[in-house]
């Protein structure tokens, strides 16, 4: 007879694994990948390919030759980082800038802390913000969508993003209504569908929401962070808009424009760098929502999602300590 | 549908043996009866090597308050009194008996006739339950008479009967409710009389619809006993979770159910109480589920205490070729056995044989801080944090973060996508923290 296995209970295990979660996120990103291919053509494919390949390569090199430990590039986490980094840059970004971004994401954002699970910040956002600060010109010239096979690299026509137009116009002293009436302005429907200038993955809210529904239904993410994030952003921007609609845009535009949907569902919900308790996640979401609107309205950059999430990532350990779960039996009865 | 709210998981139910009627396991040739089969102090052996014993005769006496009598489950000759490794993995003193015939002690009513009238008063009931060695059959084997003696200043309001059977695979309680429902309900009434309560609830998970219907019909004749269908969710049958689900009260941290006016007993215990009080029959047998995906004949067996697990497995078609792990109990809280030579004890609810492939643990990866263990914990603890504190031997901090509230249900480890052995660390931490607390008391 074979020897029996002996171990502590439980003896059964859920089907969900780190790998299935990571690949679940990749599946959720597929609709948005298709939309980016549709609007930016082969440029989008180029950016996604370089970013993913570079992320996988750097993870492999670091694990094999620097750490000399097990190589885990097939766990899907570097793949997710690669796609998200690609989604956060314009489609005409030179390849070497992308490679630098991947090195910063994986090397500094993730492996320097000990790899998956140990990183305090979302790796893709670390790379993105590093590039934004280091290469501001290349990172903010947005090619306009031209269709699947219609683009060359050098003759791309660039145009501003919704938030960029608004920031510039408001700084020049125009009112929101004047800016929105100008022909440059993409408008709500284009924001929703994706026919506008912007980062690869920021452009179509509908495709991103489709993936978000998938992640929620597969229980890869929970509702806490997205709801709190969107809720606080809508309420805060709504108050500003009600006070002065000529200087502050309405909450719907805040939601649809820029990287809000991408950030809320795909990066703020990154489990490694967000709080672990539902209570903490709600606090995290509220904080990120407020910071996003503050940076958009009063900051130097038109877009604030990346900074807001990174700042809240830094608060995550404190939030974990301060917001404990509701304990069973902690209710102290009076009288 | 009623349920507990905080945490919980949904493991595959796999109630393969639910349709199998209870069969009587033929008498084994030898039995080995451990003398400490309940929580509390070990009982003292009162027979000697070479003695001839009858079925139902006392072979070990419980001498302290929290301890329980042990009876011979067969008739025959005591061959030795020695140690045995029981299902819990610890060495215990045990009485070995060679079976000869099946001669019962006088005074035990073995007729199938159901006795409805409850004659003895409160004290007599409790004395009888103590004498007959009845312990909690849900798994924790707490001596039943102790639960019935409500401490001064406390008052029992409700009796809760646990027919939840939330462990996957196990079906012994389910079969008992279907086949012995009438007697079990009389057992419930005896317990109500002993506690002086006028209201009892029988909590049953919704996946046992036939048992819910069957008991509801019986209970319609007994005002004060109500069947409560519960949502299928693990650990619905945890004592504190059951109280929360049925009467919506939370047992405070570190306290017993009586704090909120509740006493919880398992359905099997209720039947044992009926047999002890009405039929004068000691607790010498119990129903054990033998099951598993590769088991040829999944069964529910009425087994004499002390029978070797191997006899049960043989009856169910033998150990399957692909067997990788044999578990005493269910897959969530059961204990893996090192061999099939261990005896069935009062707390053995099932023997689960897992296939080789499903019995191995996956390698543990880095924690990805997803918080699923926190969401799954029915006690509202942070298993990830407590496991870290245990690993780093920070037991005082673990105590502050309520490690002693852990009920060891295994939901955290079950749900962990990184496959971390969270419960292993929590058990270690509970043990060490417990020592810390006890030593503090001594100073």
Q: Using one digit for the tens of pLDDT, what is the confidence trace for B155-169? A: 999 999 999 999 999
CA separation for the pair B365, B196 (Å, rounded)? 53
Query: Cα(B334)–Cα(B183) distance, rounded to whole angstroms?
Result: 28
Average pLDDT of the residues of chain A: 87
Nearest CA to A194 among A120, A262, A284, A122?
A262
Q: Is A20 on the interface with B (CB under 8 A)?
A: yes
Say how far apart CA A176 and CA A187 lie, in whole Å: 12
Q: Which residues of A touch B327 (CB under 8 A)?
A: 9, 11
The average pLDDT across A44-72 equals 94
Query: Span A1-5, mean pLDDT?
Result: 74
Say whether residue A18 is in contact with chain B using an 8 A CB cutoff. yes
A215 vs A265: CA distance, rounded Å: 9
Q: Do A13 and B424 touch (CB under 8 A)?
A: no
Please judge whether A4 and B339 are an interchain contact, meaning their C-beta atoms are less than 8 angstroms apart.
Answer: yes
B271 φ, ψ (degrees, to nearest 5): -65, -45
CATH architecture type of domain B122-279:
3-Layer(aba) Sandwich (3.40)
- What are the phi and psi torsion angles at A320 (to 5°)? -60, -40
Residue A51, min C-alpha distance to chain B (Å): 23
CATH 3.40.720.10 fits B285-359, yes or no: no
Enter the tokens of residue A102. 């991947």
Counting one residue from chain A and one from chain B, the pairs whose CB atoms sit within 8 A come to 164
In sequence order, the 6+-apart residues with CB closer than 8 A to the CB of B367 are A117, B384, B418, B420
For range B353-357, the mean pLDDT: 90
- The model's confidence at residue A335, banded by pLDDT at 50, 70 and 90, is very low
Which residues of chain B form CATH 3.10.20.600?
285-359
Return residue ranges of chain B for CATH 3.40.50.11540. Answer: 122-279
Of A9, A21, A281, the CB nearest to B332: A9
Chain A residue numbers touching B402 (CB-CB < 8 A): 327
A124-177 pLDDT per residue, tens: 999 999 999 999 888 887 776 665 544 444 344 566 677 877 887 788 788 888
Phi-psi domain of B169 (left: phi exceeds 0; alpha: psi -120 through 50; beta: other): left
* DSSP character at residue B79: E
Touching check for A13 and chain B: CB below 8 Å? Answer: yes
- Cβ of A6 and B384 within 8 Å? no
Residue range B28-99, CATH number: 2.40.50.100
Pull the structure tokens for residue B293.
Answer: 């995906």
ipTM, two decimals, is 0.88
Do residues B109 and B279 lie in contact, with contact meaning Cβ atoms separated by under 8 Å?
Answer: yes
pLDDT higher than threshold 50 for residue B138 = yes
Domain ranges in chain B with CATH number 2.40.50.100: 28-99
Binned at pLDDT 50, 70 and 90, residue A2 comes out as low
B401-412 b/e with 16+ CB inside 10 Å = b? bbbebbbbbbbb
Interchain pair B381, A327: CB under 8 A:
yes
Six token digits for residue A80: 């997710």
**Are the C-beta atoms of residues A161 and A139 closer than 8 Å to each other?**
no
The pTM score is 0.90
């Amino acid at each position: 007879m074979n020897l029996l296995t002996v171990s502590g209970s439980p003896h059964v295990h859920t089907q969900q694994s780190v790998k299935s979660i990571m690949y679940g996120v990749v599946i959720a990103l597929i609709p948005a990948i298709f939309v980016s291919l549709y609007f930016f053509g082969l440029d989008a494919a180029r950016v996604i390919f370089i970013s993913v390949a570079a992320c996988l390569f750097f993870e492999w090199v670091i694990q094999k030759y620097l750490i000399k430990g097990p190589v885990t590039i097939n766990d899907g986490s570097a793949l997710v980082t690669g796609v998200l980094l690609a989604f956060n840059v314009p489609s005409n970004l030179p390849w070497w800038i992308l490679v630098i971004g991947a090195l910063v994401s994986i090397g500094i954002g993730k492996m320097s802390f000990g790899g998956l699970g140990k990183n305090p910040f979302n790796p893709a956002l670390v790379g993105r913000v590093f590039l934004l600060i280091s290469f501001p010109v290349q990172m903010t010239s947005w090619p306009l969508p031209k269709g699947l096979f219609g683009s060359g690299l050098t003759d791309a026509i660039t145009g501003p993003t919704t938030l960029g137009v608004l920031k510039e116009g408001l700084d020049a002293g125009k009112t929101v209504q004047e800016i929105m009436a100008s022909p440059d302005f993409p408008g709500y429907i284009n924001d929703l569908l994706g026919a506008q200038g912007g980062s690869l993955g920021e452009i179509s809210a509908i495709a991103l929401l489709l993936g978000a529904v998938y992640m929620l239904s597969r229980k890869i993410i929970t509702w806490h962070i997205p709801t709190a994030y969107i809720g606080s952003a809508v309420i805060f921007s709504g108050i500003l808009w009600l006070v002065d609609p000529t200087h502050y845009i309405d909450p719907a535009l805040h939601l649809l424009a820029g990287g809000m949907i991408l950030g809320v569902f795909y990066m703020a919900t990154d489990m490694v760098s967000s709080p672990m308790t539902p209570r903490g996640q709600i606090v995290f979401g509220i904080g990120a929502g407020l910071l996003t609107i503050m940076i958009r309205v009063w900051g130097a950059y038109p877009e604030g999602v990346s900074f807001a999430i990174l700042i809240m990532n830094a608060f995550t350990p404190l939030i974990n300590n301060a917001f404990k779960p509701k304990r069973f039996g902690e209710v102290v009865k009076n009288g | 549908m009623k349920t507990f709210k905080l945490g919980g998981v949904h493991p595959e139910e796999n109630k393969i043996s639910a349709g199998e009627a209870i069969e009587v396991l033929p008498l084994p040739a030898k039995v080995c009866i451990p003398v400490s089969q309940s929580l509390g102090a070990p009982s003292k052996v009162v027979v000697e090597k070479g003695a001839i014993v009858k079925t139902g005769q006392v072979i070990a006496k419980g001498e302290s308050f929290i301890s329980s009598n042990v009876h011979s489950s067969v008739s025959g000759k005591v061959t030795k009194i020695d140690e045995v490794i029981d299902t819990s993995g610890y060495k215990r003193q045990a009485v070995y008996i060679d079976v000869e015939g099946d001669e019962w002690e006088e005074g035990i009513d073995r007729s199938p006739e159901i006795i409805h009238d409850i004659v003895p008063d409160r004290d007599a009931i409790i004395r009888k339950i103590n004498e007959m060695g009845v312990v909690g059959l849900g798994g924790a084997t707490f001596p039943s008479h102790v639960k019935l003696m409500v401490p001064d200043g406390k008052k029992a309001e409700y009796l809760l009967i646990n027919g939840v059977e939330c462990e996957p695979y196990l079906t012994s309680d389910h079969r008992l409710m279907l086949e012995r429902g009438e007697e079990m309900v009389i057992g419930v009434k005896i317990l109500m009389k002993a506690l002086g309560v006028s209201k009892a609830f029988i909590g049953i998970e919704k996946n046992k619809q036939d048992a819910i219907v069957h008991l509801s019909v019986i209970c319609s004749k007994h005002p004060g006993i109500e069947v409560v269908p519960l949502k299928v969710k693990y650990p619905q049958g945890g004592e504190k979770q059951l109280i929360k689900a049925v009467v919506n009260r939370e047992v405070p941290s570190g306290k017993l159910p009586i704090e909120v006016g509740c006493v919880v007993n398992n359905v099997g215990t209720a039947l044992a109480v009926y047999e002890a009080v009405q039929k004068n029959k000691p607790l010498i047998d119990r129903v054990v589920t033998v099951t598993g995906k590769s088991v040829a004949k999944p069964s529910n067996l009425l087994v004499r205490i002390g029978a070797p697990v191997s006899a049960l497995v043989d009856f169910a078609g033998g150990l399957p070729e692909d067997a990788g792990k044999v578990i005493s109990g269910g897959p969530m809280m059961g204990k893996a056995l090192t061999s099939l030579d261990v005896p069935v004890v009062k707390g053995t609810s099932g023997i689960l044989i897992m296939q080789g492939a499903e019995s191995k643990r996956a390698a543990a990866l880095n924690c990805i801080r997803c918080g699923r263990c926190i969401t799954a914990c029915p006690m509202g603890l942070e298993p990830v944090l407590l496991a870290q504190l245990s690993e780093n031997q920070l037991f005082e901090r673990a105590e502050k973060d309520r490690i002693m509230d852990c009920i060891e249900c295994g939901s955290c480890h079950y749900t962990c996508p990184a496959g971390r052995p969270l419960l292993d660390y929590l058990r270690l931490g509970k043990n060490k923290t417990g020592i810390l607390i006890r030593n503090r008391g001594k100073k």
